[in-house]
Amino acid sequence: MRLFHFAFAFSLSIAGSWAFAAPNAENGKQLYAQHCAACHSAEYNGIGPLHAGVFGRKAGSVPSFTYSPAVKASSVVWGTDTLSQWLADPEALIPGQKMWMKVEDANARQDLVAYLKTLAKSK
């Protein structure tokens, strides 16, 4: 019986580090606090635009934020794939942008996107 418990715990820990773990918005929230909050928030513009309602909106469409001409003119719409591409390499998705930051870890990107998806539109 002891042996069985050990084996069960072991398989759980493998699942925890599995490369294709389900998106985790809670973890994304922490990553956001660490890596994005210096420039962004859900409610107000900072160095970067506010993120409330970012999921599903067109890139460069917060009226009160001054975007780079490149982002403003782009026809990218923020969804799971475009957000992940943006975070992996903003300049590759929209050349001429001004967010000089990359998230190289695919799991981290997935969790960040899951978190962004939870941010409801501001009123």
By the criterion CB under 6 A, which residues form the site for ligand HEC?
A: 35-36, 38-40, 47-49, 54, 59-60, 62, 67-68, 70-71, 78, 83, 86-87, 97-99, 101, 103, 112
User: Angle formed by the axes of helices 80-88 and 106-118, to 10°?
Assistant: 130
Q: How far apart are CA 73 and CA 117, in angstroms?
A: 23
Work out how close the CB of 20 gets to ligand HEC at its nearest, in angstroms, rounded to a whole number.
Answer: 20
Q: How far apart are CA 107 and CA 109, in angstroms?
A: 5
Work out how close the CB of 105 gets to ligand HEC at its nearest, in angstroms, rounded to a whole number.
Answer: 10
In this complex, which beta carbon is closest to ligand HEC, that of residue 7 or of residue 39? 39
